[in-house]
Structure formats: C-alpha cells, structure tokens
Amino acid sequence: MHDLSILLIELGTVLLGLSLLGRIGRRTGLSPIPLYLIAGLAFGEGGLLPLSASEEFIEVGAEMGVILLLVMLGLEYSAGELVSNLRASAPAGLIDAVLNAVPGALFALLMGWDWVAALVLAGITWVSSSGVIAKVLSDLGRLGNRETPVVLSVLVIEDLAMALYLPFLTAVLAGVSLAAGATSLAIAVATVVIVLLVAIRFGNAISAFISADDAEALLLGVLGLTLLVSGMADKLQVSAAVGAFLVGIALSGPVAHHAVQLLTPLRDLFAAVFFVFFGLSTHPGEIPHVLLPALALAVLTMGTKVLTGYLGAKRAGIALPGRFRAGLALMPRGEFSIVIAGLAVAAGVEPQLASLATAYVLITVVTGPMLARIPDTEWFKAMLRKRTAVGHPVVPRPD
C-alpha cells in the first residue's frame, strides 16, 4: 500500500509539472517535446528530483507512448497515398536518406564508436519530426504553399522507411548475425508490402470490422488491435512500433477519422510519458560532455536538411524562396530520433549515445521551428530579391 501511495504522489507530481510546462510551451510557441525531455532530465538519476517508485510504471507508459505515436502516424496516411507518394517521391527520399543518414554514421565513427552505434546515429540524424514540422507548417500558414507537398512527401517517405529501418535495427541491436538481420529485414519488407496491399484492397473490410458508431467500442477495438499486433510484431522481432504504424495504415475511412479524435488525448498523455522516460534514462551530468559534439552534429545535419529540402523543391519546380522554406522547415528532429535512441539505449549500445541524442534533439527541435521563420523575414526576402535582380548569379564551381 505504501508503494502505491508513493507511486501516485510521484506520478501526480510529474503530470502536474508537465501540464505547467505545456502551458509555458504554448505561451512561447515552443514544441512540448524539448520541455518534456528537460523534465525527464530533472526527475532522473542525478537530477533535481529523482523518482524511484514510479520508474516501472513510467517504463510501461513510455512503451505505450511509442506505440500510440506510431499508430497515430499511420492513421494520418492512407495506404494508397503512401504507395503513390513512394513512386513520385522516391528520388527526393533517397537524397534525404543519403544526405542525412550518412553524416550521422560518419560522425559516430569519428567519435570512435562501433558500426552498430553508427547505424543508430544515422537513423537519429536522418528522420525529421513529422509532428513538429506539420505543426510548424500549419502555424506559419504554409499548408497552401506550393513547396509544402515536397516537405510532406519527404516526411511520408521517411516514415515509411522507418518501417524497414526499425525492424532491421531491432535485429542488429539484439546481436543477431548479419544473416538473421537480413531475414528480419525480409520479414519486415514482406509484412509492410502485405499490409499495404491488404489495406488498399480490403481496408474497408478491416475498418468495417471495427464499427465507428460506438465511441467506447471503437476506442477499445483500435487500442486492442494495435497492442495485439504490436506485441506480435515484437515477438517476430519486427519491432512493436512498426506493428502499430501498420495498424494505423490499414485502418481507413470514418473509423480512422474517429479513432484519431479518440486516441489523440491518450497519445498526448503517453507520448509525454515517453519523452520524460527518455530524459530519465539520460544522466544530466553527461550532457555537458556531449554538448559540443551534439552542437556540431546539429549544425551539420541541419545544413544537410536544408540542402535536402532545397533540392527536393528545386526538382518540383519551386522558385528560390520556396526552396529555402522547404529546407528550413525540415530541420527539427523529434519523436523518431528519440525512439531510435531509446531502442539503442535499452540494448546497451554506447553509453554516451543517450545524452548525445537528447542534446541533439533538444537543439534541433528548439532552433528548427525558429529558423523556419527566417524565409518570412523582410531581410531574407530582400536578400533573395537582390540575388534574383542581379540575374541568375553563376556560382563558380571548383572543377
């Protein structure tokens, strides 16, 4: 009984603290992700207010958070959308992967880490935060902009790529041989393809199975199906997160629409717990040691994201200002980077990785949305006008 009361008190304190932080965040227009991470750092070992009783509870909550984040992500897309996007935007997705994953991998090797850590850091620097970026685009009134589809399709491709990357990473982290890793990847590819095909063909039938009429039954049905599939995916070493993502994709129509409304508050709760948990597992004392490398990595990979967006928008025939808007919007990394880092930390890869990932995500997710406003400023517009007024300046290339 004693443990239970402490658990309730600790949990209540954490949630109240988060609510306060969330309000501060909304005032300042900041994404709540960095605030939750900082809260986790404060409550963690070596922080201001170490928690002990609720650790296990928070761990389970964090797992739920990942699953809910991913199922909601899947619910946002229809299978048809994903497939058509894949065909049209594969080149942009490839540029994105090469420009952003490679620097992360090289950086890890430069830090003297092994190739598993390099694989992890590649994923962390590769994936932009769909949640943060969608919010930035909507806040800045850019949903109608002509470069926005470019930004969105890069995000879609990244999310889809994660469905292949996460199971592969899970297998590698489990320490299986390369052959077993390849098998796991093959299972993942087959699963993703089958789910997409089934969702396109029979999406309505699956959705009809879960009726959208009764809110309570719908909530329990979608949540139950998601947890069930996630658990089975985890057993197959395809990663629980990917299972959840696929359930989200398979659901469509009114079921998906209502499920989004019902699951959003749950997602907000458990995603907050997830970010806090990740902060908890990071030792705040380590942050200063990795601050400079994290800053360097952030500057480097924010630069490559700008280039990614620039090139993608150029391919789509967007003019100069739009190319910069696309590039600068893509910079924030968030939930996925933390999910990847979380997997690695749980598997005991490179102890410094958690603190580096925390610092890295903190930097990109705070500065990204601020820097995204640059193209709307007068001086930036004036600068671009000057450049185009001179004619198309030929940049000398050293070749």
Partner 1 sequence: MRVRVEQTALPGIGVRHDLVMASGRRIGVVSHRSGRRDLVLYDQDDPDACIASLPLTDDEAEALADLLGASLMLGQLAGLRSQAAGLLTEQISIPAGSPWAHRRLGDTRARTRTGASIVAVLRDREVIASPAPSFAFQTGDVVVVVGTREGLDGVAAILAETESDG
Q: Angle at which helices 240-250 and 178-209 pack, to 10 degrees?
A: 30
The torsion of the CA quartet 58, 362, 242, 282, rounded to 10 degrees, works out to -40
Token pair listed for 56? 């296990």
Residues 164-223 that bind partner 1 (CB under 8 A): none
Which amino acid is located at 356 in the chain? L
Question: Which CB, 129 or 148, lies closer to partner 1?
Answer: 148
Nearer to partner 1, 77 or 107 (CB): 77
Q: Which is nearer to partner 1, 148 or 282 (CB)?
A: 148
Q: Print the binding letters for residues 373-392 with partner 1: x by CB under 8 A, - otherwise.
A: --------x---x-------
Say if residues 66 and 241 touch (Cβ distance below 8 Å). yes
SS3 sequence, 343-388?
HHHHCCCCCHHHHHHHHHHHHHHHHHHHHCCHHHCHHHHHHHHHHH
The structure tokens 């600790």 sit at: 10
| Stretch binding partner 1 (CB under 8 A), from 78-86, 117-125, 167-175, 221-229 | 78-86
247-266 positions binding partner 1, by CB under 8 A: 257
Contact 252, 205 (CB under 8 A): no
Total residues binding partner 1 (CB under 8 A): 34
Task: Choose between 81 and 268: whose C-beta lies nearer to partner 1.
Answer: 81
Of 150, 145, 151, nearest to 132 by C-alpha is: 151
Out of 11, 88, 180, 371, the only residue in the binding site for partner 1 (CB under 8 A) is: 88
Separation between Cα atoms, residue 42 and residue 52, nearest integer Å = 13
* From candidates 47, 103, 321, 342, binder to partner 1 by CB under 8 A: 321
Query: What is the widest separation between alpha-carbon atoms in the chain?
Result: 76
Q: Which stretch binds partner 1 (CB under 8 A): 27-35, 83-91, 180-188, 272-280?
A: 83-91
**In the complex, minimum distance from the CB of residue 155 to partner 1, in angstroms, rounded to a whole number:** 7
Options 82, 294, 359, 372; binder of partner 1; rule CB under 8 A: 82
Binding mask 122-151 for partner 1 (x = CB under 8 A): --------x---x------xxxxxxxxx--
Expressed in angstroms, the distance from the first to the final Cα of the chain is 74
153 is an interface residue for partner 1 by CB under 8 A? yes
Binding of partner 1 by 282 (CB under 8 A) = no
Nearer residue to partner 1 within complex by CB, 59 or 76 = 76
Taking the least distance from each CB to partner 1, the nearer of 88 and 347 is 88
CA distance 155 to 362: 20
Q: Out of 39, 101, 155, 329, which residue is the one contacting partner 1 (CB under 8 A)?
A: 155
Q: Among 84, 177, 204, 377, which residue sits at the site for partner 1 (rule: CB under 8 A)?
A: 84
Alpha-carbon gap, residue 110 to 108, rounded angstroms: 5
**Burial of residue 143, with CB atoms counted within 10 A of its CB: 0-12 exposed, 13-18 middle, 19 or more buried:** exposed
Residues 89-118 that bind partner 1 (CB under 8 A): 89, 91
Under 8 Å between Cβ of 42 and 283: no
Burial class (CB in 10 A: 0-12, 13-18, 19+), 144: exposed
Pick from 39, 108, 152, 328 the residue near partner 1 by CB under 8 A: 152
Give the footprint of partner 1 on this chain (CB under 8 A): 76-77, 81-82, 84-85, 87-89, 91, 130, 134, 141-149, 152-153, 155-156, 257, 317-319, 321-322, 325, 381, 385
